A and B are shown apart, each in its own frame.
Chain A
């Protein structure tokens, strides 16, 4: 049946992640809604990538703490996704007849929305996750998928052999066809790490989702169940090699690192790119103000911020306030946070609306990560740190403490 609503490709963005490893930062919001880079949220990256790649129909699958994310996406206008046909759709789990349940796994989340995808009668579906920072043209990946006549194409990035055991690793032949998939292998055979970005031929995926749902032993997960099953069945799975910046910001340490990468011109994360803008819902703040007493170097500062103190190698988000004599180094100050006079902040993340009292000390200077993790002090959203209090490195402070 030819439908006038037909879309060649629909994106499904998995935004339901609880993000437990981000601790207090995801206490009240889903991981994709966590602020990043002064004026963005993590979800701005996949959304902007979609729009820039020419994909205008995006289902955003939410389930954990959805309110902030729902409000943030709204009608999709900031990403130019308020379309007559297509656009951004927030898809929470819903009750179907007598049944109805939470999304059990990544594959189940898409399974539960088969009807949504079918409405657009697409040839292909792109499955994305909402917890990575990267800029990528999905259209190129889709072209590769078509050229190979693949059933599934998985984006991979080359990682170091040491890191490889933390990722899902795709072992490929000379033509990049995947013959083996290993989830977090102890002895990795290659360094092609899955980026959690899949292009599927919809008719194939649709059947696999139905079969997967019927299998009582399945965990309904792409990486654990659907991909291995497709491989076992001899389906055509190809790796798509991505070169460029990509970072999973699933932990406090990696979230902090990704923010710091914005300050380093050599990191490969360059957002000032008129050809590939990252869009965000705008906070309508006036320009930021650097007072006569301010000292700001090696940092980024966003709209509405007010800086009276000293800021080095840090990210100051919109509407944040840095008081007189306060000193911020190697830290990320999220929107609306207030750092009062004389406070010292080192290697820390101070979350939205948090208040750090006069002369408080947050975190400590560090030279290198311990066992791969920076010991980042975190002041949670809305938390109040009393004057002269100390927050130790790697400590997390919740609201009301």
Chain B
């Protein structure tokens, strides 16, 4: 798709992801055994022919840089376009890091102006989905919309989800959920297609008035004066807002229909290639209903769980309803249940870790239990 550039905001909801984002951005949050969340946004862009991509970071972005490097794994090491990563930009006036998307966009306006593309696709990084942006563009042009925002049908389980009320495709009302709502609504995915010039003028206008929130200060205010359309994403879209949604959305991927939506459509989700060996199942291995990445060594029990690359589960150990990230080690006769263990966590022999389904316990990166 010529004429469209992409912008990814690498940091959102970091405060609600607690321990999981102490060492990293939301964009580099590990997901589904071998991916990072940003892989979905990057792959969707690349698969739709969008190869001019800016990534705006706020803090702790070294894990993100390590993951994307020159963008080769997404075919983004280009002469024309490719990846531009923007390290945290300290705004001169306040000596503070940017607070919201308006400031973030303002901080990269030079980059946006320099790029030849006419349209911009803005995307948060906390979304896992597999979508063709060509269809979004076609709908946008057909409706002569000024902004097209992607939505999915779901129950808002967390606060501050953007509820979108549309007639036909035209957005009539926008508001944030305050408490969980029991019925399904169209919820914003924080992905927007907009003409670059319009975006820049809207952002400049609000920035000058000290506003920071793109949804509240731009979209809600402009409703009625510009045409905002919604585009319903029918295939599965996972939104990761906090530790609990991270856990729930991860576990959903054990469902074959959802994996089909995320990974087996026409488009491939790419990620950094690590050349791990295939996983070894030893004599005592017993693995049920689990997603297992390469490079694991399993001699114990794994049930309803996700193992990332290079995880070891020793003899007599049990992993149930848990997410064990890269290089985790679950040693002999230990037990891990309803837990998220971050990268390189060791659970020593005989220990038990257990959370609850509604409150999975998180073990921070590099810790030994």
Contact = CB atoms under 8 A, between A and B. Distances in A.
Interface of A: 37-39, 77-78, 263, 271-272, 277-280, 282, 284-303, 311, 315-318
B283 to A, nearest CB: 6
Contacts of A288: 279, 291-293
21 contacts: A38-B278, A78-B273, A278-B275, A286-B35, A286-B262, A287-B33, A287-B292, A287-B306, A288-B291, A289-B254, A289-B259, A290-B289, A290-B302, A294-B287, A300-B277, A300-B279, A300-B281, A301-B279, A301-B281, A303-B294, A318-B278
A315 B279 CA distance: 10
Contacts of A296: 281, 285, 287
A285 B268 CA distance: 8
Contacts of A278: 275, 277
Given A37-B278, A38-B278, A287-B32, A301 B292 contact: yes
B270 A284 contact: yes
B278 A77 contact: no
Nearest to B307: A287
Interface string B283-326: 11111111111110100001000110000000000000000000
Contact of A289 (B34, B281, B290): B290
Contacts of B259: 286, 289
Contacts of A315: 278
A290 B275 contact: no
Given A272-B277, A299-B281, A300-B280, A286 B287 contact: no
Contacts of A282: 273, 275
Contact of A292 (B34, B289, B295): B289
A39 B294 contact: yes
A263 B280 CA distance: 8
A189 B280 CA distance: 41
B111 interface: no
B282 interface: yes
Contacts of B35: 286
A57 B275 CA distance: 21
B291 to A, nearest CB: 5
Given A277-B275, A301-B281, A302-B278, A287 B294 contact: yes
A91 to B, nearest CB: 25
Q: Secondary structure at chain A's binding surface: helix, strand, loop or mixed?
A: loop
Given A284-B268, A287-B33, A289-B259, A297 B282 contact: yes
Q: Which of A263, A296, A318 has the most CB of B within 10 A?
A: A296
A271 B33 CA distance: 21
A83 to B, nearest CB: 14
A303 to B, nearest CB: 5
A286 B294 contact: no
Contacts of B280: 263, 272, 299-300
B269 interface: yes
Nearest to B285: A297
B303 to A, nearest CB: 8
A286 B281 contact: no
Q: Which of B262, B268, B289, B292 has the most CB of A within 10 A?
A: B292
Given A37-B278, A288-B279, A294 B288 contact: yes
A286 B275 contact: no
Given A37-B278, A315-B278, 12 more contacts: A38-B277, A39-B277, A272-B295, A272-B297, A285-B263, A286-B32, A287-B306, A288-B279, A290-B288, A300-B280, A301-B278, A316-B278
Interface in B31-56: 32-35
Interface string B92-110: 0000000000000000000
A126 to B, nearest CB: 23
A297 B281 contact: yes
Contact of B269 (A272, A284, A290): A284
A361 B295 CA distance: 31
Contact of A302 (B271, B279, B284, B286): B279
B351 interface: no
A232 to B, nearest CB: 45
Contacts of B269: 284, 286
B72 interface: yes
Contact of A303 (B256, B286, B293): B293
Nearest to A37: B278
Contacts of A301: 278-279, 281, 292
A299 B281 CA distance: 5
Contacts of B293: 287-288, 303
| 7 nearest A-B residue pairs (beta carbon) | A287-B33, A38-B278, A302-B278, A287-B293, A290-B287, A292-B289, A282-B273
